[in-house]
Structure 1
């Protein structure tokens, strides 16, 4: 024996539960989860509707429910849905194609590290995503980064751990019937539901210009706006520091 160390093949990242059970999650999104389109519209758009060319990003879009709904109701805007599951993205693209939505696109991506330039997106929609992401603070930081000065984000998170656990628990159960062994998925076995104080602290971890928090029996909401004055002040400070160097 030569004693030479044989290199191990690179480890593959864990599979996604949403990839394995994309059909089930799509059914839940369509028929079980609440539709927040009216709340999103009121939070992100003025009473006379969004401006032409407005860019909306739906993070963790799954089958593209909100991206398609908003593009259909407001043909003057452009929506992009981002998700890690390619099968869910395929369902989202089919959904947009059936509705002939030319102003709705989808992209494979990780919400922890978005390709969008800083200060480039007009609004972000996030629904039920922070229940399962590995590093929710990193995702919120990315949202803050890509939003333009004055841009807004809408966040909706469930408050009931029991009701939230049902879809995820069913997906884990269904995964045992698939070809992939259960327990090899990157998603948690239990959804991480935030309490009201935790949700408030989490949202306020970014230096928003304004934050509105609302709660009802099943959901907690945040509407956050990036302060244009704060961004302009930071740029001025950077320029001033560079001038001293």
Structure 2
């Protein structure tokens, strides 16, 4: 998948921080979970997004809800011909991701504060999208998937990984709530829900099949459900389906 040489532009002002997010207050705890406890899907992502095993020169990769930027940095490091961008609402997690890229001396890796539900400046500019555990916490899953479809180039692919165990999946957010309550005023509010809702298989399938992908491959194991969605090579009139 060949692309142009432009870089992404997304203003930090696009991310509202009121009320405060648990991912700001307890950013280090979430980063710890992401870095050491969540499953590493690098192998699955590589085979799904780059079947040949080697991305084409100039490939643009986007990691949504990137947190500390593990996947964006990993693919930028392993494939110097890729330009990787990570987007997350948490400014503190983005600072952590930028520090990781700087420590690795990655010139082809960028991190921006932004909302996965509103990627207005990235239309048709991305070859590959990585989404891991994001649908657990976003308020509008359909809006995120619609944005993914819109920003992908014709022929682009996205990889989605969502956990299937409700109890295990709720632990990180529950721990952040406990920590936040220990350090916050009694009346202070946070924008995340009290607990995450894991999608049932039928719900997950309905979500990923809700857009006119050229192909959707859905798989499941004991802990995760996956979808690899490919956009048609032919450009689609998106106004017609988005208004339906």
Is this a same-fold pair by TM over 0.5?
A: yes
Q: Which residue of 1 aligns with 2:107?
A: 102
Aligned-residue offset at 1:177? 1.9
Counterpart-to-counterpart distance in 2, 1:48 and 1:134: 34
Aligned-residue offset at 1:120? 1.1
Q: Which residue of 2 aligns with 1:54?
A: 59
Q: Do structure 1's residue 133 and structure 2's residue 135 form an aligned pair?
A: no
Structure index of larger Rg: 1
Counterpart-to-counterpart distance in 2, 1:50 and 1:12: 36
Alpha-carbon contact 1:175-1:181 (below 8 Å) kept: no
- Pick the aligned partner of 1:186 from 180, 191, 196: 191
Counterpart-to-counterpart distance in 2, 1:48 and 1:195: 31
Query: What is the DSSP-based 3-state SS (H/G/I as helix, E as strand, rest coil) of the residue aligned with 1:144?
Result: helix
1:192-225 residue CA offsets vs partner (Å, 9 max, x unmatched): 1000000000101111110000100000000000
Query: What is the DSSP-based 3-state SS (H/G/I as helix, E as strand, rest coil) of the residue aligned with 2:102?
Result: helix
- Pick the aligned partner of 1:207 from 206, 209, 212: 212
Query: What is the DSSP-based 3-state SS (H/G/I as helix, E as strand, rest coil) of the residue aligned with 1:221?
Result: strand
Q: Which residue of 1 aligns with 2:96?
A: 91
- Pick the aligned partner of 2:169 from 164, 168, 171: 164
Counterpart-to-counterpart distance in 2, 1:27 and 1:113: 27
Aligned-residue offset at 1:118? 1.9
Counterpart-to-counterpart distance in 2, 1:115 and 1:106: 16
Aligned-residue offset at 1:117? 3.3
Q: Quick one: higher RCO (CA 8 Å, sep 6+), 1 or 2?
A: 2
| Structure 2 CA distance for partners of 1:181 and 1:84, relative to 1, 3 Å | farther
Q: Do structure 1's residue 80 and structure 2's residue 85 form an aligned pair?
A: yes
- Pick the aligned partner of 1:151 from 139, 153, 156: 156
Alpha-carbon contact 2:60-2:83 (below 8 Å) kept: yes
Alpha-carbon contact 1:20-1:178 (below 8 Å) kept: no
Aligned-residue offset at 1:109? 0.4
Counterpart-to-counterpart distance in 2, 1:138 and 1:118: 14
Q: Which residue of 1 aligns with 2:223?
A: 218
Aligned-residue offset at 1:179? 3.5
- Structure 1 unmatched ranges of 5 or more: 1-10, 238-245
- Structure 2 unmatched ranges of 5 or more: 1-15
Alpha-carbon contact 1:128-1:157 (below 8 Å) kept: yes
Q: Which residue of 2 aligns with 1:4?
A: none
Using the size of structure 2 for normalisation, the TM-score is 0.88
Counterpart-to-counterpart distance in 2, 1:138 and 1:23: 28
Hey, which bits of structure 1, 4+ residues long, moved more than 4 A? 180-183
Q: Which residue of 2 aligns with 1:241?
A: none
Alpha-carbon contact 1:44-1:152 (below 8 Å) kept: yes
Count of aligned positions: 224
Q: Which residue of 2 aligns with 1:71?
A: 76
